[in-house]
């Protein structure tokens, strides 16, 4: 676990050095020149994003999930996994505790992602959220719940996590 925390700090330090070009990178990834036009605001948002990555241990969680998380059927049966139920309410909590540089808000107050469904987004933890009860607890998600294995999700419609993102 200490190695994972060290990884977070090491990568955050490296990314901190690259912070001056973060608005350019965000502009390219989002295909939106607004990040460059408002460079100072984008830089502040990028710094907040980086702080939140360290807070949520985003780097090490990505590595740990990627290496330790095995697809269903290879090492475990479907019945041994917790069932995730719920539907996204667009609260923005899962977007790095509302500090993601790509997070934007609709006039109605719903969160929306400026890189949603892009190939880059799909490679991030965002494209797999939520994977487990740990994700739900980390971001204090009000709309998803994890039902332990073997317990029925009484009165709650089970929605495949992948399908949630396709609805938007």
pLDDT at 87 over 80: yes
pLDDT at 134 over 80: yes
Phi, psi at 91, each rounded to 5°: -80, -25
Count of the separate structural domains present in the chain: 2
63 and 105 housed in the same domain: no
Say if CB 42 and CB 14 are below 8 A apart: no
Q: Predicted confidence band at 166 (pLDDT cuts at 50, 70, 90)?
A: very low
Residue 88 CA to residue 97 CA, distance in Å, equals 15
The whole domain housing 127 covers 78-166
Q: What letter does residue 49 receive in the DSSP assignment?
A: H
Q: Predicted confidence band at 168 (pLDDT cuts at 50, 70, 90)?
A: very low
What is the tens place of the pLDDT at every residue in 52-84? Answer: 888 877 777 766 665 444 444 444 444 467 888
Chain centroid offset of residue 58 CA: 8
89 and 147 housed in the same domain: yes
161 and 83 housed in the same domain: yes
Asked if the structure places residue 73 within a domain, the reply is: no
pLDDT of residue 78: 44
Say if CB 85 and CB 156 are below 8 A apart: yes
pLDDT at 165 over 60: no
- Asked if omega into 40 is within 30° of 0 (cis), the reply is no
* pLDDT, mean of residues 117-137: 85
96 and 140 housed in the same domain: yes
């Amino acid at each position: 676990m200490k190695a994972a925390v060290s990884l977070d700090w090491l990568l955050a330090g490296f990314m901190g050095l690259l912070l001056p070009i973060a608005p350019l990178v965000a502009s390219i990834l989002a295909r939106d020149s607004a990040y460059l036009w408002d460079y100072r605001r984008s830089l502040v948002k990028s710094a907040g994003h980086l702080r939140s990555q360290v807070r949520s241990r985003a780097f090490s969680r990505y590595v740990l999930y990627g290496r330790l998380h095995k697809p269903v059927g290879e090492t475990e049966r479907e019945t041994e996994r917790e069932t995730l139920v719920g539907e996204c309410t667009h609260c923005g909590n899962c977007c790095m505790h509302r500090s993601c540089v790509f997070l934007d808000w609709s006039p109605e107050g719903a969160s929306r992602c400026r890189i949603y469904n892009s190939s880059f987004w799909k490679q991030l933890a965002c494209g797999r959220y939520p994977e487990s009860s740990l994700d739900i607890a980390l971001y204090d998600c009000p709309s998803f719940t994890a039902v332990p294995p073997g317990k029925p999700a009484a009165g709650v419609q089970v929605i495949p996590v992948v399908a949630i993102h396709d609805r938007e």
